[in-house]
């Protein structure tokens, strides 16, 4: 059995803020040649391409429902189970088209879990014009031979501030047979230590200690910030924040994990957060991605995305 290997390179996506945009053609899905065994990173990205096409062809909610795991969660920003989400699905069809363009991805070395952060744009079918933009975070896990979405969250950005995507596309790395004990308690302890550092020394100092060199921090209605130094010098980096984890999910090799829970910052702004942890080359846990969405008074009534 031959193995198909694809090299993943750095991807830069840019969008002209003043340009008039129209609906692009449907995204294409790579079909591997017969007789090839897919490397984990390729199967993961093919599943994501299929998800992008489903969202484009069937709409946001129908496309998400097709790929959402039965015990998956949607943060709106309050958690909603897959069963709750599917029971509230609107009828298929609609007056808009959603286009996803991947900007940032990380995967477990064990090849059974990954995360993508996409830029999305919504177009009106009748006028062909752009009517909304934002970001869409999806955490994927391998279930049998399929990839399913374990957690999904989206957030819009104001029309005056179109999304800017200059994120790096990072693939899976060979694990060389290394595995680590899967320990939820270890992740919760790290979360608590990260929270304690933030409260005592500020968010910037916390990322200096726990963040990877290219950690991505994303706050709703703000562009992503990359790297501990940039986070520390940003307005958000001066805040003191405290987190309370609600759920932890880990890859089988103990090298990749996600945590979601509640955040309260020094302005008493409450939010829901999703944080991605990955083992560094020396085996230490480092944060590679961090997203927080504020809890609005009417957020339980928000639609997806």
- The 10s digit of each residue's pLDDT in 155-214 is 877 665 544 444 444 444 444 555 566 678 889 999 999 999 988 888 888 999 999 988
40 and 152 housed in the same domain: yes
Residue 15: predicted pLDDT: 37
Q: Is residue 3 part of a domain?
A: no
Residue 38: predicted pLDDT: 61
219 and 280 housed in the same domain: yes
80 and 43 housed in the same domain: yes
Q: Is residue 44 part of a domain?
A: yes
Residue 7: predicted pLDDT: 35
- The 10s digit of each residue's pLDDT in 97-141 is 888 877 778 888 788 899 988 888 888 888 888 888 888 899 999
In terms of DSSP bridges, do strands 256-265 and 241-250 run parallel, antiparallel, or are they unpaired? Answer: antiparallel
Residue 138: predicted pLDDT: 94
CB atoms within 10 A of CB 26: 12
How much of the chain exceeds pLDDT 70, in percent?
75
Beta bridge partners, 101, equal: 119
Q: Is residue 63 part of a domain?
A: yes
Q: Is residue 99 part of a domain?
A: yes
75 and 128 housed in the same domain: yes
202 and 147 housed in the same domain: no
Where residue 203 sits, what CATH number does that domain have?
A: 3.10.450.50
Which residues constitute the domain of residue 195?
184-294
- Of 34-48, 53-67, 177-191, 223-237, least confident by mean pLDDT is 34-48
- The 10s digit of each residue's pLDDT in 217-248 is 887 666 778 899 898 888 777 777 888 899 89
Size (the chain), residues = 305
What are the backbone angles phi and psi of residue 50, rounded to the nearest 5°? Answer: -65, -40
285 and 192 housed in the same domain: yes
Q: Is residue 74 part of a domain?
A: yes
- The 10s digit of each residue's pLDDT in 267-278 is 788 889 999 999
Residue 99: predicted pLDDT: 87
Residue 111: predicted pLDDT: 84
105 and 214 housed in the same domain: no
Residue 258: predicted pLDDT: 94
Q: Is residue 175 part of a domain?
A: no
Q: Is residue 50 part of a domain?
A: yes
Band of pLDDT at residue 31, cut at 50, 70 and 90: low
190 and 108 housed in the same domain: no
146 and 189 housed in the same domain: no
Contact 167, 224 (CB under 8 A): yes
Residue 27: predicted pLDDT: 72
Band of pLDDT at residue 93, cut at 50, 70 and 90: low
Residue 174: predicted pLDDT: 44
116 and 200 housed in the same domain: no
Q: Where are the beta strands (DSSP E) in 76-129?
A: 79-81, 96-107, 113-124
More confident residue, 27 or 145: 145
Band of pLDDT at residue 54, cut at 50, 70 and 90: very high
In the chain, what are the helix, strand and coil shares in percent, each to the nearest 5?
A: 25, 40, 40
Q: Work out the mean pLDDT of the chain and round it to a whole number.
A: 78
Beta bridge partners, 289, equal: 216, 276
Residue 303: predicted pLDDT: 42
How much of the chain exceeds pLDDT 90, in percent?
23
216 and 108 housed in the same domain: no
What does DSSP assign to residue 19?
S
Q: Is residue 104 part of a domain?
A: yes
Number of domains in the chain: 2
146 and 206 housed in the same domain: no
């Amino acid at each position: 059995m031959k193995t198909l290997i694809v090299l993943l390179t750095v991807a830069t996506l840019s969008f002209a803020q003043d340009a008039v945009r129209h609906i692009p053609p449907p995204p294409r899905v790579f079909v591997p040649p017969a007789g090839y065994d897919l490397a984990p990173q390729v199967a993961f990205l093919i599943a994501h391409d299929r998800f992008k096409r489903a969202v484009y062809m069937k709409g946001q909610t129908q496309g998400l429902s097709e790929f959402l795991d039965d015990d998956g969660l949607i943060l709106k920003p309050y958690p909603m189970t897959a069963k709750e989400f599917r029971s509230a699905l609107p009828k298929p069809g609609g007056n808009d088209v959603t286009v996803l363009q991947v900007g940032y991805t990380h995967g477990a070395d064990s090849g059974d879990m990954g995360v993508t952060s996409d830029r999305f744009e919504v177009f009106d079918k009748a006028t062909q014009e752009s009517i909304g933009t934002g970001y869409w975070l999806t955490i994927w896990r391998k279930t049998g031979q399929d990839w399913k979405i374990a957690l999904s969250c989206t957030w819009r950005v104001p029309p005056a501030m179109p999304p800017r995507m200059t994120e790096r596309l990072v693939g899976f790395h060979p694990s060389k047979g290394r595995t680590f004990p899967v320990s939820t308690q270890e992740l919760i302890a790290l979360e608590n230590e990260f929270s304690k550092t933030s409260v005592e020394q500020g968010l910037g100092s916390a990322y200096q200690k726990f963040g990877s060199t290219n950690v991505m921090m994303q706050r709703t209605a703000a562009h992503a910030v990359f790297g501990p130094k940039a986070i520390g010098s940003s307005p958000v980096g001066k805040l003191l924040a405290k987190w309370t984890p609600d759920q932890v999910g880990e890859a089988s090799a103990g090298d990749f994990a996600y945590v979601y829970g509640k955040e309260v910052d020094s302005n008493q702004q409450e939010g829901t957060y999703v944080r991605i942890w990955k083992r560094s080359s020396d085996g230490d846990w480092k944060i590679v991605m961090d997203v927080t969405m504020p809890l609005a008074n009417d957020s339980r009534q928000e639609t997806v995305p």
